Amino acid sequence: MSAESALRARPELPDHAPHILLVDDDRRVRELLSRFLSEQGFRVTAAANAAEARLRGQCFVFDALVLDVMMPGESGFDYARSVRETSRVPILMLTARSNPNDRVTGLEIGADDYLPKPFEPRELILRLNNIIRRHAAVPEARFSGEDAVSFGPFSFRIDRGELRRENEPVKITEREREILTMLAQTRGGNVERETLAGNGGLAAERTIDVQINRLRRKIEPDPANPSFLHTVRGVGYRLAID
């Protein structure tokens, strides 16, 4: 298949498609699973080890993690343990280690599910959808604590990248999650446009204004006169939290 044909064959995913971080040191496994998960409607970011996964976590908010256990250096167990110190993101351990003791270890660490290799691909999809669904169904009338901010009727969970209006989830794109995360982490402080734009240069900075306007249409009673997402002239933007 030509590169052009492969590009046409790749499914176009909606902005709200679940975003999965796949961590496996086997390049062939990463490629096969990334392709399969994409075909099943998931957005996939892959990493070869725990260090690379941490770098990916600085750039994106994920809906679930699929972790191999047997990796050189820091194991999947070690990485899952460190993730659980700050996040409740769903974790599925995917590994050739099917020993019951290993399964118990993974679940004790805080993994949501454990699937031994070899596995049926459809079972992976079912288990992945189940842990994402269970995670989203946890009743929280209003987020609170160090990992959440509130503004008006909205609550944004920083560690999960979840936005809710009262108890109802609000669909946001992956880019909107990233913007809200950076704004929320400052607890009402200013965030420069260059920071929100990332490494995209001037073109990305111009795009930020468009993305901010789209986000305002989701959270502002009157987007033309924002109450929460303010423009700071000459600097960037700030989120007016309660």
Which tens digit of pLDDT belongs to each residue from 166-177? Answer: 878 888 887 888
Class of the CATH-defined domain 148-239: mainly alpha
| Domain boundaries along the sequence of the chain | 3-137, 148-239
Instruction: Say how many C-beta atoms besides its own lie within 10 A of residue 8's C-beta.
Output: 9
Residue 46 pairs in a beta bridge with 22
Q: What angle do CA 173, 61, 161 make, to 5 degrees?
A: 70
Q: What angle do CA 37, 140, 124 make, to 5 degrees?
A: 20
Which helix or strand (DSSP H or E) is residue 239 part of? Answer: strand 236-239
The closest of 149, 211, 139, 130 to 169, measured between CA atoms, is 139
Class of the CATH-defined domain 3-137: alpha beta
Q: Strands (DSSP E) along 105-228, which ranges?
A: 113-116, 148-151, 154-157, 162-165, 168-169, 190-192
Each residue's pLDDT, cut to its tens digit, for the chain (242 residues) gives 333 333 344 556 666 688 999 999 999 989 999 999 999 999 999 999 999 999 888 878 888 999 998 888 888 888 998 888 777 888 998 877 667 777 777 777 778 888 888 888 889 999 999 888 877 755 443 444 457 888 889 989 887 788 888 878 888 887 888 888 888 888 888 888 888 876 444 545 667 888 888 899 999 999 899 999 999 888 889 998 87
Fold match flag (3-137 vs 148-239): no
pTM over 0.75: no
Strands 91-95 and 168-169: unpaired
Residue 54 to residue 105: CA distance in whole angstroms: 22
User: Which residue blocks in 151-226 are alpha helix, DSSP H?
Assistant: 174-185, 193-197, 201-219
